[in-house]
Each structure stands twice: as structure tokens, then as C-alpha cells.
Amino acid sequence: MNYKIGCIAGDGIGPEITNEARKVLDAVGAKFGFGIEYTDILMGGCSIDVHGIPLTDEAIEAAKSQDAVLMGSIGGDAKVSPWYSLPPEKRPEAGLLGLRKALNLFANLRPSKLYSALKGACPLRSDAADRGFDILIMRELTGGLYFGERKTFEEGGLRTAIDTLKYNEEEIKRIAVKAFEIARKRKCKVTSVDKANVLDSSRLWRAVTEEVALGYKDVALEHMLVDNCAMQLVKDPAQFDVVLTENMFGDILSDEAAEITGSIGMLPSASLNETKFGLYEPSGGSAPDIAGRGIANPIAAILSAAMMLRFSLDLKDAAEAIENAVEKVLLDGIRTIDIMSEGMTEVGTSQMGDEIVRRI
């Protein structure tokens, strides 16, 4: 069987790491008897260079016609790139926000797992690192502060800005249902993170989450304020399974959870809508300072491809083959520069892809 996959290589290191993800997908497809037809789609800075805008209607329609979309990275160096002299709505990152909205990608999944072979790279105390952790942060992606009404104006002679944080109960319910469904396939625990002691939106978030929980008696639910959650992530991350939260809190907490694994270059992500369609991308950025040097870590992009196989294509065995191959590479001491340590073998971007392919 053949699957249609849109490929947004994007900017910076995006083309390099996406190439390795495609290499691994082709290898696992050959092993498990399926093929992939790729459609290249421009978005971000590379789209600005060609079309003058970061996301075209044609790109949106091309993405909608696929079974899933695999993405590299978007954006460049804000200090030197001409892209950032444009109005905010025409900069590279606006394309990503627009695509998420157009495809209704409301559920962002960001796994944070500490591999045993990388304990030494974990910045936490040794006792916390020894316990390990395997967290899935479920972030609402199309509502909240980033998509609310905003304006900048002058009031009383002072420059003033307003950003609106707004959620309705349906937006909260659908992300909560996703979290509980996925928790059922993991350790059956959901930690819902909010700021209900201050915000009305968080009080609604908590109330709706509790209503959803009534349909999942087998899944434990706890509530945690966001400031406490930030502290607990660096104190005892092993306590978490699925962390459910709104857009801005999830943006911050997922980067924190990524850092404690030792390198953000290890962290994949998925953004899903109400069907099986999803956009899959590394959690890290475009890293323009190392673009073209062949040293970027492609593992996050490769694990994002594994998430695509699991969540959008229902190819669990193929996904596990990729995940196991990544773990074997790490246990065998193969490292890119960002996770390199004494006694290990340093490789570049393409060589890391090759090593993972060899272990599939």
C-alpha cells in the first residue's frame, strides 16, 4: 500500500533533517511492505523567497490532500534575515500558525523521554535522572492567547498592548478527550495544568476537564498549577505521564521538558486534528547558525516520522522499528555533536540517518 505524505522541508536545518527522516521512512517501508509518495510543499522563509508570503492557498490545499505532513523547521536568524523586516503576519512563523489553523490542528503532542544511554546529558540531579521519565505533553494548539484578539494602541499617552486569552468549552473538551484516550494507552494518568487560582479561562478549563474525566474512570486525573508544574518537571519528572494544558503554558512547559532530556534535537512532535491527519515536526527550531554544515541532529525529525506512522497511518510495528533503531544507535555510542560525550563516536547528520537505517 502507498501513502501520500506532504513534505515541508522548510528553512535552516529543515532540509537536512527532513532528508534523513525520508531516508528512514523509505527503509522501514521496504521492510514492512508499504510505499510513500512525497509531495514537496513550500512554507516559511523559502515560500517568502518564491511567493512573497510564508503560506499560499496552494500550499494549504496540497497539505489537505495528503495522508499526513512531515515538516522540518521554519524561520531564520531574526538579526540578519530580510524575512524579519516584514510585518509580523508575513514572517516565516506566521505560515506555521496559519497552516495549523487551516488544518484545524488543535492537539499538539510532544513526548519527552530520557533514554538510558543519555542520562549523562540530563541536567537534572543524578537521582532524578536515574529514575528516568517518559512524558507526553498534550498542548492545545489553535486557541488561547496566540489566536485571541490583539491590538496595540496609545492610552493616556502610553503605548499599550492587549492580547486576549479565550477558550470555549468545546475547544477544551476535544483536547481533553484526546489526552484521556492517549493516556489509556500509556500509564492511565492525566495531569491537567492551569492557573485556576487566577484566570477565568483556567477555571473553565478545569471544570470541563473534570466533566470529560467522568467518561474515563480508568484514568487518574490530577490538577496542577502551571508554576508548580514547571518546578515539578525539574524536581521529579518521573511523576508525570500525560500533561494536558492550554496553548501558551504548553509552549513553555514542552520546551522545559525537552531540555531535561539533554538535547532538544531528540524531541519529536505531532499536531493532530479530529481525524487521523497530522503534521509532524521536530520540537527544535531551524538552527540557522549550523544550517548546511551537516552536523544537525536528525533524530527528532526521524522520531517525528515514527509518530506519523503510529498516529496517522496506523503502522505501529513500523513506528516501533524506528524507535528501537534510534535506541540501539544511542546504546551503541553513536552521537551527533549536540549529544556527544567522551568515549562516544561522533557522526554528522547524514551518517546518523545511515546508522539508524542499518538498525531497522
Residue 26 falls in the annotated catalytic set? no
Specify the amino acid at residue 199: L
Tell me the DSSP string of 2-38: EEEEEEEEESTTHHHHHHHHHHHHHHHHHHHT-EEEE
- Which of 192-201, 226-235, 339-348 bottoms out in mean pLDDT, i.e. has the lowest? 339-348
Q: Is 134 a residue of the active site?
A: no
**104 φ/ψ sector (left φ>0, alpha ψ -120 to 50, else beta):** left
Query: Which of the following is catalytic: 3, 146, 167, 280?
Result: 146
Q: Which residue has the cell 521519565?
A: 133
- pLDDT score for 201: 98
Q: Do 151 and 233 reside in the same domain of the chain? A: yes
Residue 266: the pLDDT is 86
pLDDT over 70, % of the chain: 100
- Per-residue pLDDT reduced to its tens digit, 45-96: 999 999 999 999 999 999 999 999 999 999 999 888 999 999 989 999 999 9
Do residues 145 and 78 both lie within one domain?
no
* Averaged pLDDT, 198-212: 98
C-beta separation of 255 from 264 below 8 A: yes
Would you say residue 264 has pLDDT above 90? no
Instruction: Judge if 71 and 50 occupy the same domain.
Output: yes
Instruction: Enumerate the β-bridge partners of residue 222.
Output: 191
| Size (the chain), residues | 360
The residue annotated as part of the active site, out of 23, 113, 178, 195, is 195
Q: Which of 67, 163, 255, 354 is catalytic?
A: 255
Residue 245, C-alpha cell as written in the block: 494544558
Clarify whether residues 176 and 281 are in a common domain.
no
Amino acid (1-letter code) at residue 29: G
Answer yes or no: is 117 within a domain: no
pLDDT at 341 over 90: no
Residue 265 has pLDDT above 80, yes or no: no
Active-site residue 251, yes or no? yes
- Residue 259's pLDDT band (cuts 50, 70, 90): confident
140/159 same-domain check: yes
**pLDDT at res. 285:** 85
**Same domain? 138 vs 251:** yes
Which residues, 6 or more positions from 338, have their beta carbon under 8 angstroms from its beta carbon?
263, 265, 297
Burial of 102 (0-12, 13-18, 19+ CB in 10 A): middle
Which candidate in 227, 314, 317, 332 is catalytic? 227
Mean pLDDT of the chain: 95
Element containing residue 162 per DSSP (H, E): strand 158-163
CB 304 within 8 A of CB 25: no
What's the confidence (pLDDT) of residue 263?
78
pLDDT in tens, 105-122: 999 999 999 998 888 888
Instruction: Indicate if the pLDDT at residue 281 is higher than 80.
Output: yes
Cα 115 to Cα 169: distance, rounded to the nearest angstrom: 37
Number of independent structural domains in the chain: 2
Give the integer Cα–Cα distance in Å for 324 and 115: 11
* Domain endpoint, select from 230, 260, 290: 260
- Tell me the residue range of the domain where 348 lies: 1-110+267-360
Domain finish residue from 233, 260, 287: 260
Among the candidates 210, 235, 260, a domain finishes at 260
Q: What is the pLDDT of residue 1?
A: 87
Annotated active-site residue 11? The verdict is no
- Residue 242 confidence (pLDDT) above 80: yes
pTM above 0.75, yes or no: yes
Q: What sign has the CA pseudo-torsion 312, 313, 316, 318? A: negative
Give the single-character DSSP code of 211: H
CA angle 350, 278, 1 (to 5 degrees): 75
Q: Per residue in 169-200, pLDDT tens?
A: 999 999 999 999 999 999 999 999 999 999 99
Domain shared by 103 and 209, yes or no: no
| CATH number, domain containing residue 349 | 3.40.718.10
With pLDDT > 90 as the criterion, what percentage of the chain qualifies?
Answer: 87
Separation of alpha carbons 22 and 292, rounded Å: 18
pLDDT on residue 283: 85
**Active-site hit among 11, 194, 241, 251:** 251
C-alpha 41/C-alpha 60 separation (Å) is 9
Neighbours of 292 (CB within 10 A): 11
Query: Is 195 annotated in the active site?
Result: yes
Same domain, 3 and 100: yes
Shared domain check, 223 and 349: no
CA angle 271, 265, 358 (to 5 degrees): 95
